[in-house]
Amino acid sequence: MKLFWPIEMGFEQAIEEINMNSTFTPFDKEVLLFTQALSKTLVRMRQMPEVVALGYWLRKANIQEMKVKWEEQNKERFIKPRGTVFHIAPSNVDTIFVYSWMLSLLAGNRNIIRVSGKGHSNVLLDLILTELAKPEFEKIAKQTIICTYNYDEKFGEMISEICHTRVIWGGNDTVQTIRQIQLNPMANELAFPDRFSLAAISAEAVLNLGENELNELLDKFYNDVFWFDQMACSSPRLIAWCGKQHEKAKVRFWSAFENKVKNKRYELMAATQVLKYTTSLWLSTETDVRDIENGKYFSRVHVVDVPIEARERHCGGGLFFEYDVEHLSDLSKVIIDKDQTLAYFGFEHSTLQVLVDSISTRGLDRIVPIGQALNFDGVWDGQSFLKSFTREVVII
Amino acid sequence: MTNPYHLTKAEKTPLLLEKLNVLTKFHVSQSTEYRSMIEKGGFQITANSLEEVPFLPVQLFKLLDLVSVPKEEVIKVLTSSGTTGQQVSKIYLDKETSIAQTRTLVEVMKPLLGAKRLPMIILDTKSILKDRKSFSARGAGILGFSNFGRKHFYALNDDMSLDVEGLKTYLEEYKGERILLFGFTFMIWQYVFKESIKQGIKLDFGDSILIHGGGWKKLKDEAVDSSVFNQLLHDQLGIREVHNYYGMVEQVGSIFVECSKGHLHTPQFADVIIRDTLTFEPLSHGRQGLIQVLSELPKSYPGHSLLTEDLGTIIGEDDCPCGWKGKYFTVAGRIPKAELRGCSDTFQGGARA
């Protein structure tokens, strides 16, 4: 067990005392000031674009907009925070725990956060701890515990007993493991298991782009794919090419993208190169795979169907499944429960709606333009955080 | 007696290339999986140079059962060593490939060991050989090398403790004779060398020759390399001649042993190519990269050209001061594991890490 916050007492005392502190009302002033202060610090971290994105999300205007929307939705309702929210953060998308925590804090809750033990980016945590230590945020500080521990230690059990909401980030194994830990019967739970994401590109739209526009599109696509080494669950792993001129569009898109990755100086690693090579060869033994192409910066696997195994074998690091359809709605037959985000380029809103309408599985929770695949939002995997982090008291 | 280290590059290359091309063609016709990889990957079946021979990553054998003979002809399945829970490679041998493996091992080792069988001490436990149909890398190695010795003595008890009394008796009995010692680098280090230090046992293995392999991964953490290892074994156990070898269960026939100058050598029926770690382009001598191994033996499974995860450097070709021909090289260890960021492994980051 390593306790990052509080600093003046031990974990067990902190756990005992946390529920004695009263909660905030949703969008409390102190909380708003805290998010603004944090935003200012984080947007300065230029060398960490994902932290800048987090800081940008926390900026005053965005939070204000969220507040206005929330107030509109809850007019004449009596909404209270749940109480204490237990966040179990993923190990590698190191900004997720902050989004999860901030939304819970905005809802008014006390928060206990288990960050990953790996912590190779403690910069973010250190910045947060500095803000938390400031006297003007004393009330928030008293309602916050940030720690890390091994799962064989029994701290997860202790926290699960006293929390009112449990949030599990981090894949199927984590969700299964944590779910074996008894949860306070009064608590609700949000779980974020493994997901798979894709992009849909209109071949004709790509061919109609000017050089500058294509470059812009590739910049956005690069961010969606490589910010988290294609390992974020919302990073596109399958590219669906729609239209008629598939091959022509692919040649244009991929050759330009190769230059893009090269110019971005994306850091390649030997183990990832071997892994992509291995995975593509492994996949090539399946009848659903038509051909494979291994390049220095990425590998392409042309598929004629997308079974769940193919999704599970995906290794990240720049491996693209490619699937050709004539109409976007044809994509609906391969969408499965696991599919989360569709990043698109070159489609009208109505065409996207037709697609969503024709999907019969649980698949697709987000449909966003290419470039916004990683943008975190108050609604994720189909659930609204502010809703799940609050409760409505009925007074008649 | 033939020496497999007498062919120069100009003599060896066309012979080996011809055999490898025949194998590629054979496996394409016999293994559906291999055919898919070659065809869908756009590889050439007939290569014009050794560098052009298509190569499979060794990890594929952990993911797929790759066999080029009817399953009923398989007489032996080799498995890679792997810690519990890890996937292991499965290598299927038929009679022909298995016999070829034994024969080449003899040819590779003869220049070092001579034709006569030596009294042999295996620095391992006998229990590793329990299952005769399915062999771990350690079991297969021991069984293969056992052919070079007689009066086999296993130096470790089943519980991995050192059989000190047995060893002393054996050494006494064969005093003055040349003794063959064989074992796995880590086992020797952990259970023979360290144990003898701990117990204060000084042994003298006399005029012995130690052959060992299996990798330096665990010893590297203790900053022990080949020269330190040799020196310490010499000082503590009186072992005067030590030869490391490099090889892997996934490619039969690829046994690269150290010559008298401490360089790993390629025999005539196998070869190594060093490739850039990012582009897999072949590198010139002297540059470090991923080791690709080639062998003319694997006929029962498509393993004649494999890309390993080991880093190595070719020092030279045909001009080693030891007199042996062929490429000679060093191995620097495994490439670092991929540490991709991503949101799907909280759990591994915790207790299981």
- Give tens-digit pLDDT for B86-127: 688 999 999 999 999 989 998 999 999 988 899 999 999 988
Domain borders along chain B are 9-70+263-346, 102-245
- Binning pLDDT at 50, 70 and 90, where does residue B352 land? very low
Average pLDDT over chain A, rounded to an integer: 94
CATH (one of 3.30.1120, 1.10.10, 1.10.3470, 3.40.50) for B102-245: 3.40.50
Put simply, the answer to whether B309 touches A271 (Cβ < 8 Å) is yes
What is the reported pLDDT for B343?
45
Decide which of 2.30.30.100, 1.10.3720.10, 2.30.38.10, 2.40.30.10 is the CATH code for B9-70+263-346.
Answer: 2.30.38.10
Q: What percent of chain A has pLDDT over 90?
A: 89
Which of B42, B279, B342 has its CB closest to that of A228? B342
Please tell me which of the candidates A89, A270, A293 has its beta carbon nearest to residue B278. Answer: A270
**Residue A163 dihedral angles phi and psi, to the nearest 5°:** -85, 165
- What the block records as the tokens of B295 is 């062998």
The per-residue pLDDT for A168 is 96
Residues 6+ apart with CB under 8 A from B165: none
Supply the Cα-derived Rg of chain B in whole angstroms: 21
Residues 6+ apart with CB under 8 A from A85: A104, A109, A110, A111, A112, A163, A164, A165, A166, A167, A389
Q: Residue B278: which of A223, A262, A178, A97 has the closest Cα?
A: A262
How would you classify residue B12: left for phi > 0, otherwise alpha for psi between -120 and 50, otherwise beta? alpha
| pLDDT tens profile B150-209 | 999 999 998 889 999 999 999 999 988 899 999 999 999 999 999 988 888 888 888 899
Find the closest chain B residue to A88 by CA distance: B346
Give the bridge partners for A294, in sequence order. Answer: A299
Proportion of chain B above pLDDT 70, given as a percent: 92
Q: Is A41 part of the contact surface with chain B (CB cutoff 8 Å)?
A: no
For the stretch B264-285, pLDDT in tens is 999 999 999 999 999 999 999 9
Whose CA is closest to B77, among B68, B90, B96? B90
Q: How far is B321 from chain A (nearest CA, A)?
A: 33
Residue B353 has pLDDT above 70, yes or no: no
Residues in B 325-344 with any Cβ partner in A closer than 8 A: 335-344
Task: Give pLDDT tens digits for A291-306.
Answer: 999 999 999 999 999 9
Among candidates A249, A230, A196, A205, which has minimal Cα distance to A344? A205
Locate the chain B residue with the closest alpha carbon to A175.
Answer: B347
- Report the pLDDT value the prediction gives residue A258, as an integer from 0 to 100: 97
Q: Is A48 on the interface with B (CB under 8 A)?
A: no
- Please judge whether A278 and B344 are an interchain contact, meaning their C-beta atoms are less than 8 angstroms apart: no
C-beta separation of A315 from A279 below 8 A: yes
How many angstroms separate the Cα of B162 from the Cα of each of A351, B124, B215? Answer: 74, 9, 22
The ipTM assigned to this model is 0.91
Rounded mean pLDDT, A24-42:
97
Q: Is A355 on the interface with B (CB under 8 A)?
A: no
Nearest-angstrom CA–CA distance, A363 and A220:
24
Question: What are the helix (H) ranges across B31-148?
Answer: 32-40, 60-63, 95-113, 137-146
Q: pLDDT of A247-282, one tens digit each?
A: 999 999 999 999 999 999 999 999 999 999 999 999
DSSP-derived 3-state class of residue B272: strand
- Domains in chain A (CATH in brackets) are 2-193 (3.40.605.10), 196-369 (3.40.309.10)
pLDDT of residue B202: 81
Q: Do B42 and A293 touch (CB under 8 A)?
A: yes
Q: At B351, phi and psi to the nearest 5?
A: -60, -35
Interchain contact, A232 vs B63, CB within 8 Å = no
In sequence order, the β-bridge partners of residue B293 are: B272, B306
Report CB contact under 8 Å: A281, B277.
Answer: no
pLDDT for residue B80 = 81
- With 80 as the cut, is the pLDDT of residue B32 above it? yes
Judged by a CB distance cut-off of 8 A, whether residue B346 touches chain A is yes
In percent, the amount of chain A with pLDDT more than 70 equals 99
Q: What is the largest CA-CA distance in chain A?
A: 66
Interaxial angle between packed helices A246-263 and A211-226, expressed in degrees from 0 to 180 and rounded to the nearest 10: 70
Q: B278: which chain A residues are within 8 Å (Cβ-Cβ)?
A: 268, 270, 273, 296
Point out which residues pair with B78 in neighbouring strands. Answer: B91, B135
Angstrom distance (rounded) from CA B266 to CA B5: 7
